[in-house]
């Protein structure tokens, strides 16, 4: 499998399942077998994810990427042994950083929910193919990632403006909007990937979908209050 196929969700799944470290091996840069140069995409993604790990209090050394050819078995062994030694020194995931099990689970779940949003916001940077591997080291800063989490955007449907037209409900790519005919629509924040589709498709004459940043999302209107009573003509 091309290393460019490795998604942040794969890394999170490994850590969530109790792995103490994740190693990604790829072809040498500029030696792509598929001409897609996915190994650059993998390097870019890993460096961003290491900054995310720092943000939630995990040691970024638990995630490593290395590039080598299929004929360099000895080098692979050396790299794997070195990584295994490093992970052993760091100790169990979470415990080595002083994070208890429940807090670690909560942090990983929070990042998992934000990954689609992060990939959307950083899509231009994630698509960059720089000339030298060293240039990637300064691509993402800790302040940038901290700000990304602090200013994460959420979406909310104003119950006073929602006409239950079902446009946003039908267009939502992850079926995160609850509602129906004559039912005020509500965004399930647990399912929402913060792609902004609902905001974009909501007709301007309604303006029911609100973009929220830096403040909590209002609680959803109770289910028993969502029915819209149409006045007869």
For residue 86, the model assigns a pLDDT of: 97
**For residues 83 and 87, what is the distance between their CA atoms, to the nearest angstrom?**
6
**Local confidence band at 37 (pLDDT 50, 70, 90 cut-offs):** confident
**Local confidence band at 232 (pLDDT 50, 70, 90 cut-offs):** low
For residue 133, the model assigns a pLDDT of: 76
Give the pLDDT mean for 112-117: 88
pLDDT of 98 higher than 90: yes
Residue at token pair 């509602």 = 179
Using CB atoms within 10 Å of the CB of residue 190, give its burial: 0 to 12 exposed, 13 to 18 middle, 19+ buried: exposed
Give the pLDDT mean for 121-135: 86
Q: pTM for the whole thing?
A: 0.80
For residue 233, the model assigns a pLDDT of: 54
Q: State the DSSP string of 149-204.
A: HHT-EEEEE-TTT-----HHHHH-TT--EEEETTEEEEE-TTT-----HHHHHS-T
Half-sphere exposure of 101 (CA within 13 A, CB side): 2
For residue 199, the model assigns a pLDDT of: 97
- The residues with which 26 forms a beta bridge, in sequence order, are 67
Coil, helix or strand at residue 227: strand
CA nearest 145: which of 165, 117, 173, 167? 117
For residue 161, the model assigns a pLDDT of: 96
Q: Read off the tokens for 116.
A: 């689609």
pLDDT above 90 coverage of the chain, percent: 68
- 153-225: which CATH topology? Alpha-Beta Plaits (3.30.70)
Give the pLDDT mean for 207-228: 92
For residue 230, the model assigns a pLDDT of: 79
**Local confidence band at 184 (pLDDT 50, 70, 90 cut-offs):** very high
| Nearby residues of 219 by Cβ (< 8 Å), 6 or more positions away | none
CA triplet 126, 39, 67: central angle to 5 degrees?
A: 130
pLDDT of 134 higher than 90: no
CA triplet 197, 203, 204: central angle to 5 degrees?
A: 110
Instruction: For the chain, give the mean pLDDT.
Output: 92
Q: What phi, psi does 168 have (nearest 5°)?
A: -65, -35
Contact 158, 208 (CB under 8 A): yes
Return the domain boundaries, the chain.
3-150, 153-225
pLDDT of 220 higher than 70: yes
63 or 131: which carries more pLDDT confidence?
63
pLDDT of 82 higher than 60: yes
Q: How many CB atoms lie within 10 A of CB 135?
A: 10
């Amino acid at each position: 499998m091309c290393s460019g196929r490795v998604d942040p969700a794969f890394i999170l799944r490994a850590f969530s399942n109790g792995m103490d470290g994740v190693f990604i091996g790829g072809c040498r840069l500029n030696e792509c077998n598929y001409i897609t140069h996915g190994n650059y995409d993998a390097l870019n993604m890993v460096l961003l994810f290491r900054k995310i790990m720092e943000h939630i209090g995990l040691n970024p050394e638990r995630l490593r990427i290395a590039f080598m050819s299929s004929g360099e078995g000895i080098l692979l062994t050396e790299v794997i042994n070195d990584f295994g030694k490093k992970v052993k020194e760091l100790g169990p995931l979470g415990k080595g950083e002083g994070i208890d099990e429940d807090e670690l689970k909560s942090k990983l779940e929070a990042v998992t929910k934000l990954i689609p949003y992060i990939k959307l916001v950083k899509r231009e940077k994630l698509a960059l193919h720089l000339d030298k591997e060293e240039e990637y080291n300064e691509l993402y800063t800790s302040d940038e990632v901290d700000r990304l989490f602090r200013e994460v955007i959420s979406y909310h449907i104003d119950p006073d403006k929602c006409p239950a037209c079902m446009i946003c409900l039908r267009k939502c790519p992850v079926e995160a909007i609850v509602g129906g005919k004559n039912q005020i629509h509500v965004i399930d924040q647990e399912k929402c990937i913060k792609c902004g589709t609902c905001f974009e498709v909501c007709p301007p004459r309604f303006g029911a979908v609100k973009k929220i940043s830096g403040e909590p999302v209002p609680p959803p209107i109770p289910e028993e209050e969502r029915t819209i009573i149409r006045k007869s003509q």
